Amino acid sequence: MDINIAVLPGDGIGVEVIAAGMQVLQHVAKKKGHKVNATYADVGWAAIDKHGTALPAVTRDVCRQNKAILFGAVGLPDRDQTLPQAQRPERVALLELRKGLFANLRHVVLPPGLADHCPLKKHLISAGIDIMIIRELTGGLYYGKPQGISGEPGHRSAVDTMAYTEHEIRRILKVGFETARKRRRRLTSVDKANILATSQLWRESAVVMGKDYPDVQLEHMYVDNASMQLLRRPTEFDVIVTENTFGDILSDEASMLCGSIGLVPSACLGEDSSTTPFYEPIHGSAPDIAGKNKANPVGAILTVAMMLRYTFGLQEEAANIEKGCFQVLNEAKILTGDLGGNSGCTDVAAAVIAAI
């Protein structure tokens, strides 16, 4: 199979972790007789410095012409502050490249070998943590209108609008139910139905759709309670489905259950082939360690596995990468600094390849 992908390393440690992910991808592809056709393009500050914009036309074209986007990270906090918010890399690049992709899947797993790195007491995690968080990506506060700040200094007002249609809610709930059906058949739908009208519509829709999935145990949970239960009983969660802002917050909270945000991959998927699927580790650009071979590449490597599974249908290859990553993590001999180790980004990539 030809694996045709757009590769956008971006800023900071994005360059290093994507290089590691690509090494693993090339290794697995060669073993299984596939050909990787990777077209690299600039994004973020790497693009601003060359093209004057965080997402130049040439990068958009590369993304449209390929089957998937493998993305590193964008944004440099010190430099971001020099631009109006509307021109900053996260808003220009991330929101544009993910436009039309409505389902964000973030997989949080605590390998037994890293149990000491989880901030929770051992009796709370003894049954293991394996949570798939599914976040709606096109609606809610990030896109609702009206939005903005108005008025004179000292008397300004600001507004953000949370808006959802029944169609948007039902399509993400379907992803939640279908995903739960392939895992442990437990789905937690997170909302704020005691306060928000959008959440009331969300819960009503979940109840109705649940009747079509009698084999999936459906649980409803308010978002504030969900944030607490993730710390109190994380092993009981299987699949969580929720709206945009709630999902953004809860998935970052959940990432720390596995010891480091550097371990968590993500996929952004759409309904059809009109928008290119987007894959990225959930961490940021971490400019303080960029170029020092200190970044944890596991999130990026596991992101490659998600890409092979969801876009190219290569289940065995994806499973091999995941197995290699978790073998290295469980042995806990070759770990980056965020996990208490002294190994470099390139060391971890080499260890995963050896495990595969």
The whole-model pTM stands at 0.92
What are the tens digits of pLDDT across the range 263-291?
A: 999 999 998 777 999 999 999 999 999 99
How many CB atoms sit inside 10 A of residue 127's CB?
A: 11
Q: Is 248 a catalytic residue?
A: yes
Annotated active-site residue in 11, 42, 192, 238: 192
How many CB atoms sit inside 10 A of residue 309's CB?
A: 18
pLDDT level of residue 204 (50, 70, 90 thresholds): very high
What fold characterizes domain 137-258? Rossmann fold (3.40.50)
Q: Is 252 a catalytic residue?
A: yes
Read off the pLDDT of each residue in 132-154 and give the average, rounded to a whole number. Answer: 94
- Is 272 in contact with 231 (CB distance < 8 Å)? no
Annotated active-site residue in 49, 224, 292, 333: 224
Residue whose C-alpha is closest to residue 24's, from 239, 312, 324, 253: 324
Read off the pLDDT of each residue in 223-237 and give the average, rounded to a whole number. Answer: 96
In the chain, at which residue ranges do the beta strands (DSSP E only) sit? 2-10, 35-40, 68-73, 103-110, 129-136, 144-150, 157-161, 186-191, 217-222, 239-242, 265-269, 278-281
Q: Is 192 a catalytic residue?
A: yes
Decide which of 3.10.20.600, 3.30.365.10, 3.40.718.10, 3.40.50.1980 is the CATH code for 1-118+263-356: 3.40.718.10
Annotated active-site residue in 99, 130, 252, 323: 252
Annotated active-site residue in 142, 160, 174, 323: 142
What residues does each domain of the chain span?
1-118+263-356, 137-258
Q: Is 347 a catalytic residue?
A: no
Q: What is the pLDDT of residue 265?
A: 97
Its sign, for the CA torsion 312, 316, 320, 326, is positive
Annotated active-site residue in 191, 248, 338, 347: 248
Question: Is pLDDT of 316 > 80?
Answer: yes
Mean pLDDT, the chain, integer: 95
